[in-house]
Structure 1
Amino acid sequence: MKTTKRLEEALLKLYNAYHNNRLNPEDCAACAVGNILDNHDSWKHLSNEHGSLELNYVGRVHQNLERKFNGYSPLEILKIEKVFLEACGFKTPLCHYNPKPINPTSKDNLFNGLSAVVDLLCQLDNIDNIMDYSKLFEHENGEPVYHLETFLA
């Protein structure tokens, strides 16, 4: 499967963050977008509300100038963060009275968030979701359509 450079780099950063316990939806430098953007939190100035899809003045300027941040436009960045937060169990935009998950950094919450982000990243690059394993269960006349190769030593 062919992927884009930005997708490969984002997936690598998210994979490492997840497995090294450096993914935190409540930290702008350690959330999905924070990790994609090399653990910088300056992206948070693109919107006035965390988890919103509405660009503020700064965000609109960058968007209109077609500025990219590690390959992603300001609007794409906001979409990635919104999807991540909502899949982790937050109600967006974030504010003190909106509900949030009991344990936002549980591996289950983070996995749900990452799965949703990977799906969105693939959509943004017009690539089939790399985490979609449904093809493994397709069958025809009782036989699997696709076969897995096993590597037994």
Structure 2
Amino acid sequence: MKTTKRLEQALIKLYNAYHNNRLNPEDCTACAVGNILDNNDSWKHLSNDHGSLELSYVGRVHQNLGRKFNGYTPQEILKIEKVFLDACGFKTPLCHYNTKPENPTSNEVLFNGLSDVVELLCKLDNIPNVMDYSKIFEQENGEPIYHLKTFLA
């Protein structure tokens, strides 16, 4: 499957962050967007409320100038972060009294967040979801349509 450069780079960064325990939805340098943007926190100024889709003045200026950050527009960055936080179980925009997951860095919570982020990243680039494994279970006349190669040791 052919992917875009920005999607490939984002997937690699998110994969490494997940497997190296460097993914944390409560840290703007280690959340989904923080990792995509090289663990930088300057992106947080694109919105006044973390987890909001509303651009701040700074965000609107960057958006209107056509600026991109590792290939993503300010509006796309806010969408990615909102999807990640929502899928991790946070009520957005974040606020000290809003609900949040009991263990925000558990593998299950982070995997749910990443799954939804990957789906959005693929949708942004008009690419089928790279994590959609449903095709391997499709059948025609009781027989699998797709066949997997198996390797026996």
Q: Displacement of 1:150 after TM fit?
A: 1.2
1:56 is aligned to 2:56 = yes
Sequence identity, in percent? 84
Aligned counterparts, 1:60-139, within 5 A: 60-139=60-139
Q: Which residue identity lines up with residue 140 of structure 1 in the other structure?
A: E
Q: Which residue identity lines up with residue 31 of structure 1 in the other structure?
A: C
CA RMSD, Structure 1 to Structure 2 (Å)? 0.5
Q: Deviations over 1:43-65 (max 9, x none)?
A: 00000000000001000000000
Q: Which residue identity lines up with residue 25 of structure 2 in the other structure?
A: P
CA–CA distance in structure 2, aligned partners of residues 96 and 15 of structure 1: 29
Q: Deviations over 1:82-123 (max 9, x none)?
A: 000000000000001100000000000000000000000000
**2:27 aligns to what?**
27
Give the TM-score, by structure 1 length: 0.99
Give the TM-score, by structure 2 length: 0.99
Poorly superposed stretches of 4+, deviation over 2 Å: none
